[in-house]
Structure 1
Amino acid sequence: MEHITKSSTLKAPAERFAGDVHLNMIEAPTAPARLAAALVRFTPGARTNWHSHANGQTLYVTDGVGLVGTRDGSVVRVHAGQTVKCPAGEEHWHGATDTTFMAHIAMVVGDADGDGTTWLEPVTADQYAHALDTGD
């Protein structure tokens, strides 16, 4: 057993996120395990870039209200206590609404080369505005 009493809060890198995003690693993959998990906190309007995961991603919302969008224009509005599963290879983004904070635990099962995440371009202002209008 390992009891971890403290995890440093890190500012998420600007080349992968828009706005103020902070994260605390919960689990970093250590062979033979491949699970990576982090608590990610988004300020209002903050979001990830478009990205995908080789083995998919599970997001469990712990606080606030957020949005998860996919390339086909689908958007889900998520609240504390809800879970979203993004399938392997699906390009998506996630973040807070424009008026609320949102925090989630992000979980991915990596591949032999790392966490299996492919980072892409930023979500445009128009794409974000569309998500705010259409998120169910």
Structure 2
Amino acid sequence: MPFGIKNAPSHFQRMMNEIFPEELSEGWLIIYIDDIIVCSKTWEEHMYRLSRVLTKIQSVNMKISLKKCHFGFKELKALGHVVSGLSLGIDKNKVAAVLLKPMPQNKKEIQSFLGFAGYYRQHIKILHP
């Protein structure tokens, strides 16, 4: 799918959600467009879940790049978060970068900070809904 088309990413995300509804509802699969993360507590469980995902990918004739795949990691960084087992945390390097920045001085800098805070609001106690 050509991603230059304006709504291609949202269409692809919807397609991925339709391919993996059970896995997503069971809570162990995270998909962001073409990034797929399989979460599990044990190696055996991971192999079983990975097999389910790869079987579905094959059944819909989807191709994956083995060069871009990383298998069996206990922890990984994705989209500014740290995924570990079944938990999602904030990347400490992102927080450190913001803390080291000087106080916002203009509208653009304030907007940048608010964007960061909004993205990580579930990890910031005073911003959590």
Q: TM-score range by the shorter chain?
A: under 0.3
Q: Which has the larger share of helix?
A: 2
Give the alignment's TM-score, normalised by structure 1: 0.26
TM-score, reference length from structure 2: 0.27
More strand by share: 1
Is the radius of gyration larger for structure 1 or structure 2?
Answer: 2
